[in-house]
Structure 1
Amino acid sequence: MPTESTAAEYEAWRESRWEEIAGPQGKAGVVQLATISGSNQTVEGVPGHWNTNGSGGLAFTAAGADGVSLDGRPVDGTVALEVGSELKFPGERSGIISGGGGTHGLVVRAPAAAPLAGLREIAVYPVDPDYIVEAEYRRTPGRVVEVGRLTDPPSRQILPAPADLVFDLKGERYSLTVIESLPGQLLVVFTDATSGSETPEIGRWVVLPSAEEGTVRVDFNRVVLPLHAFSPAFPCPLAPEGNHLPVPVRAGERTPVYNASNGANDS
């Protein structure tokens, strides 16, 4: 059994994870992600036009009839946007600007989005200290792998694979490929014997801190579900070839649980 301090830390982690997914800025409320990198660009389902400029700025143009506001003021013409600017769109949707340097991101959220509105909890397995392992982080400089992306239609992408994670679990030795899905984001995307039955078929994630060659502590009790499990807007990576554990990993997040009226998986 976990110690009292470990149990408290685990519950604090679960609370922060729930806030990340279902809080006021929760990712389950994201309905669209778009990249803005051109001039006179439109985004499907969103009013107005977008323009980047040579200095890396971003401008947005809309008519008053489009019903868009910025910082509480209606937009009727062209306004300059910064990273963190929030636009309000009709239908209680909002858009947050990210990125910079000539390429910006637009994250569109809707508080009434079906996944967010119906999400009741994130089911987890009981905490099991046997799933806390000391793993060897073996760097593989310059290596890349091809992985699938959960886009519509599905796509594939070449990603850096800077290391292998080698560890013993339940008396057997395993090796999983670490990928850098976004700059600075180290992930181990894996499937196991629970995938497609007790847990999503698309696998789960071990999120790693920045690591150098050596030993890293891996707590599978903090394995998380891909963001795609909460919103199809996220083009999450699938597990690289070989990242399958032939044993059930009954630790960490298991599945989203929705209200029965939501019509989603309630297992």
Structure 2
Amino acid sequence: MAAQDPDRPGAPAEHTSWRTRRWEEVAGPRGTAGTVQLAMIPHPEPGVPGLPGRWEVSTSGALTLTATAADGVSLDGRPVAGAVDVESGSRVDLADGREVLVRGREGTFGIVVRDSSAPMLTRLRDIAHYPYDPSWVLDAEYRATPGRAVEVERLTSPRSTERVPAPGDLVVGIGGREHTLVVLETVPGLRLVVFTDPGSGTDTPEIGRWLILPPGEDGTLRIDLNQVILPHHVFSAAFPCPVPLRENHLPVVVDAGERAPVLDPNGGAR
């Protein structure tokens, strides 16, 4: 791990620990920076673009991979020659060094393809961030909006739209004003605020930044904007991240949290 920008004196130990965990999430063995492809296994049409072998979901709901010895594919360390069932949690290694991680159940399976030589991963040295500032630890109110969904644009190529659950609003005072931000649930159980501010597109990404909310029901939440993170899409275009809603633009710069990836200008392996 590269040396990171120093925090202001007095940054709590839990913040330092959080940053260490966050670096692992991005640059570790299962990190977002090494992800090069996400896909759902189609049914009934078999196959995944860019992957060897025949991937298909059977009528019984099992995921089957059919490959030849020449494909150079192995499942959890065992060479594949013929048809094998692939369980959720399995790892498939490809001849070119990529690995495929499988998740799913009951006929619905998704795959994550990782490449240890992905350009972003090999060039990534750090995640620039604002110095820790305790004034960005705030009390906010979460107001549930059961059954609500909103139309969200996705960072696909070309861009697409999708109706996404929006289970609540986050009401928070910033810059002397109260602001109401729409909370999305792009993954079940994960409450996410995707926002922009006047620094978006200059000091931070134009596609905004994320605040992941702690679990809880209606009522007061303690939020820490020092833990605002960069969207997955910043580290890998494979992630079809949501575009910030217009109503989630804050008129005040949030000079807290992550700012941008720090890349080795000369490239090369880490």
Matched, 1:76 2:81: yes
Checking the alignment, whether the CA contact within 8 Å between 1:140 and 1:162 is kept in structure 2 is yes
SS of corresponding position for 1:87: strand
The corresponding residue for 1:219 is 224
Alignment of 1:9-158 (within 5 A): 9-158=14-163
Equivalent position amino acid for 1:249 in 2: V
Question: Match for 1:217: what amino acid?
Answer: R
Equivalent of residue 165 in structure 1, options 162, 170, 181: 170
Match of 2:3 in 1: none
**Residues 40 and 50 in structure 1, CA contact (< 8 A), matched pair in contact too:** no
Residue-by-residue CA offset, 1:100-159 (whole Å, 9 max, x unaligned): 111101100000000101000000001112211100111111111111101111101101
Counterparts of 2:81 and 2:159, CA distance in 1: 38
TM-score by length of 1: 0.94
- Taking the aligned partners of 1:12 and 1:178, their CA distance within structure 2 comes to 26
Alignment check: 8 A CA contact 2:88 2:103 kept: yes
Does the 8 Å CA contact 1:145/1:240 hold for their aligned counterparts?
Answer: no
Number of equivalent positions:
262
SS at match of 1:193: coil
Residue of structure 2 equivalent to 1:251: 256
Note the C-alpha offset of 1:88: 0.6
| Cα offset, 1:3, TM superposition | 8.3
Deviation at residue 170 of structure 1 after TM alignment? 2.4
The residue matched to 2:25 in structure 1 has which SS? helix
Report if aligned partners of 2:175, 2:252 keep a CA contact under 8 Å in 1: no
Shift of 1:202: 0.3
Matched, 1:232 2:250: no
Aligned to 1:201: 206
State how far apart, in whole Å, the 2-side matches of 1:72 and 1:62 are.
15
| 2:261 counterpart letter in structure 1 | P
The one-letter code matched in structure 1 to 2:73 is V
CA contact (8 A) 1:139 1:164 kept: yes
Q: 1:262 aligns with which of 247, 263, 267?
A: 267
What secondary structure, in the 3-state scheme, does the structure 1 residue paired with 2:18 have? helix
Unaligned runs of 5+ in 1: none
| Secondary structure class of the residue paired with 2:83 | strand
When structure 1 is superposed on structure 2, of 206-215 and 113-122 the one drifting more is 206-215
Does structure 2 conserve the Cα–Cα contact (< 8 Å) formed by 1:143 and 1:161? yes
Query: For the residues of structure 2 that align with 1:123 and 1:3, how far apart are their CA atoms?
Result: 17
Cα distance in structure 1, aligned partners of 2:128 and 2:23: 11
Q: How far apart, CA to CA, are the structure 1 residues paired with 2:220 and 2:8?
A: 22
Match of residue 188 from structure 1 = 193
Secondary structure of the 1:47 match is coil
Secondary structure at the aligned position of 2:266 is classed as helix
2-structure distance, mates of 1:260, 1:175: 40
Structure 2: 5+ residue stretches without partners: 1-6
The secondary structure found in structure 2 opposite 1:37 is: coil
Q: Point out 4+ residue stretches in structure 1 off by more than 4 angstroms.
A: 1-4
- Structure 2 vs 1, CA of residues 3 and 138 (structure 1 numbering), >3 Å: closer, same or farther? farther
Q: TM-score w.r.t. structure 2 length?
A: 0.93
Structure 1 residue 219, shift from structure 2 partner: 0.7
Q: Give the AA of the match of 1:198.
A: D
Contact 2:8 / 2:131 at 8 angstroms: preserved in 1?
A: no
Task: Decide whether the 8 Å contact of 2:174 with 2:252 is kept in 1.
Answer: no
Q: Match of 2:236, SS?
A: coil
